[in-house]
A = this chain, B = another copy of it.
Amino acid sequence: MVQNKPTRRGRPRTYDPDQAMARARDLFWIQGFSGTSLDELSAATHMNRPSLYGAFGDKRAFYRTVLENYREKMRDDVRVALDPDIPLRQALSRLYALFIEIYFPQDGQPRGCFMISTGVPEAATDPDVRDLMADTFRGFDRMLEKRIARAVAAGELAADTECATLAMIANSVVGYIAIRSRLGESRETLESFAAATVDHICGMATPQDG
């Protein structure tokens, strides 16, 4: 991620920027932007405040960087899940499995979606965050719509399928799962709903495993 030139002047860093970002992200994820203090960020990243400031700018810039970083990673993962060379049913199953895996981390409490739980609240007061979020979500819509259109072209779905609407619905369900996971709904329940949604979109006709 961060290019580490072989020869680097000055005193070497004692921290790994990527790892620091990950720790900060996890903190923001649970506590939100305003709910997380620089002291907590400093402790979690093992960087003292001046180092934090030097590396990532002020708190707001730090959060934006974390958000942007997270967006890029998610976009890549979604692209992989929506593989155009597998059946739509399987692609959607992968997509929901991907998100559920993120919303229910192995260690730690269920946390929902980083962008919904922290970015959406901040969007009302931070135009940069709002624009980044809007762009990200529209991108997901587009990716899903294209993927569904491909399924139509492949004869998996009826020719008169409204791809855009279906894409938004599929996306909506991701949001539902994100929210409910943070509110304590069981993973099993949400997995069942995801499966039911896949059935709903792809039709019950040809059930096959993802």
Contacts and interface: CB of A to CB of B under 8 A. Distances in A.
A171 B179 CA distance: 11
Given A35-B34, A175-B172, A176-B175, A124 B182 contact: yes
Interface in A122-140: 122-125, 130-131, 133-134, 137
A30 interface: yes
B162 A168 contact: no
B31 A124 contact: yes
Q: How large is the interface on A (under 10, 10 to 19, 20 to 34, 35 or more residues)?
A: 35 or more
A133 B179 CA distance: 10
Contacts of A147: none
Contacts of A193: 165, 168
A93 interface: no
A192 B133 CA distance: 21
A48 to B, nearest CB: 23
A20 interface: no
Interface in A60-112: 109, 111-112
Nearest to A30: B124
A169 interface: yes
